[in-house]
Amino acid sequence: MDSSVTVREARVEDVARMARVHVRCWQETYRGLMPDAVLDDPGLPAFRERFWTAALTDERYRANRAAVAERRGELIGVAMSGPPLDAEAAWARQLYVLYVHAADHGTGAGPALLRAVLDAAESVALWVADPNPRAQAFYRRHGFVADGTTQVQDGVREIRMVRDGQVRPPAP
């Protein structure tokens, strides 16, 4: 990992910056997959701030793990995992958020965020946009495989990828 990238637990005082990273990454990732009206909605940053505030302060989400990646004092990535929403899920944990600014891909921030919010021994599922070959390849390198399940969320087709907890992600 680039020694200038630091990953740490997210704090409430990070919420506004986390929301900005989340929105910017959505714009970088989903432009052309999601309507521009959604990506450019002036209310989107405030919506994401409310999301992160709840994720970090609401007792309902106490089992979640949230982390941020910083470089030279600037937030460049966010991640969050938690218990699966589906009580019947065959996995112990779900990766809900993992975003890193496109300019910071390849710095080690993504793998470090993944390690910060997931235990390598846990079975995990996530949803990833399809098409999104870069993200899908990233998750495959970290032991995830597509299980054939798809959904459409916010107008974006997604595939589910799972990791059984026995597969070890690459060493840092």
Residue 117: inside a domain: yes
Residue 58: inside a domain: yes
Phi/psi at 84 (5° precision)? -65, 145
Residue 90: inside a domain: yes
Residue 17: inside a domain: yes
CATH number at residue 46: 3.40.630.30
pLDDT in tens, 107-160: 999 999 999 999 988 999 999 999 999 999 999 999 999 999 999 987 889 999
Which residues touch 12 (CB under 8 Å, ≥6 apart)?
53, 56, 57
**Are the C-beta atoms of residues 92 and 12 closer than 8 Å to each other?**
no
- Domain count along the chain: 1
Residue 80: inside a domain: yes
Residue 170: inside a domain: no
pTM above 0.85, yes or no: yes
- Domain of residue 14, residue span: 5-163
